[in-house]
Amino acid sequence: MQIDRRPLADRLAAFPRLGLATLPTPLEPMKRLTAHLGGPRLWVKREDATGLGFGGNKLRKLDYVLHEAVSSGADTIVSGGVVQSNSQRQVAAVAAKLGLACHLAVYHGRLEPPTPEYKTSGNAFLNRLFGAHLRDVPWSGDRNAAIRTLVGDLQAKGHKPYFVPYGVSNALGAVAYATTIAEIEPQAARLGFAPAAIVHCTGSAGTQAGLVVGAAVAMPNTAIVGIDIDAEPARVRADVVAFAREASDLLDVPFDEASVEVVAGHAGPAYGVPHQATIEAIRLAGQLEALPLDPVYSGKGLAGLIALIRQGRWRNDEDVIFLHTGGAPALFAYQSALGI
């Protein structure tokens, strides 16, 4: 039997994209944070620098997922998330850029508003700025049910809506996110290191699934470490496994479930609720590296990385990449809760 040895970039080239994200994103050293923590050597992959609408990791997924929407003649993009969802904000930005209507199911009740400004500032303000139509719905635990209902309502009114899942997390979204590995591998080689691990926050699972699938092809010696930010590590891991298996089939690569690592214990009391370790991580990133991290996702991701370093997970002479997924606008919605 002939073994398919095509490189990752060649496999990804079969999937069309719109070209909305500014790629590749930078890979930069975090020398001051490294010194503060005493090693290992830390780097940051700047997925907050993807450009459109304040950037973020979801733009990389939307580049591929919404190519299908445009090709199918959709006139409306439909998605959803909580009030301060980074994903919703990026969906709204892309819809505005493409000249498509955007309808968002905004979930209320998943968390209590932590500040008076939570419902109106940050991502919530940007959704309005980008022209999105917002429908308030109660949180039921089913991430996609209200989005699908909204799709049906719009179809009944004669629109041609395109469904974008919560977090832009599905098989194609995971394929799209494997492009991050296709960037990191040559970037790290040019900088003279091979990363022991790539650490990131994980919740809706598509980002981690893409990293796992891409690393299996291009960076098999690099661990992909997801820090659970949902306080639902078993659910997160199950979703990563499901999306990664589907994405592996699309890319025609093998998938090993044992490669999926989701680290629990760093989500704080609940999703969307920052705790002291999150606030410490946000302070350190800001004061040492001028990196704005949000309190829901990237702040908790870095808090988990810091905890693993303090536990001795890596040697001082190893290199570890932190994936900055973006989310800075949410800082403004949490300002009075952070004490900064």
Active-site residue set: 85
Strand order in the sheet with 161-163: 133-138, 101-108, 76-82, 161-163
CA angle, residues 60, 222, 1, in degrees to nearest 5: 90
Partnered with residue 20 across adjacent β-strands are: none
**How many other CB atoms are there within 10 angstroms of residue 162's CB atom?**
22
Task: Give the CA-trace dihedral at 76, 79, 84, 89, to 10 degrees.
Answer: -40
249-to-41, 134, 138, 175, 253 alpha-carbon distances in Å: 34, 35, 35, 10, 6
How do strand 41-46 and strand 27-29 relate by DSSP bridges? antiparallel
Output DSSP code: residue 135.
Answer: E
Structure tokens at 127: 């959704």
CA–CA separation, 72 and 161 (whole Å): 10
Angle, to 10 degrees, between the axis of helix 298-310 and the axis of helix 276-289? 90
Contacts of 36 (CB under 8 A, 6+ apart): 284, 288
Query: Distance between CA atoms of 97 and 335, rounded to whole angstroms?
Result: 29
Which amino acid is residue 137, in one-letter code?
Answer: V
Q: Give me 134's structure tokens.
A: 């917002």
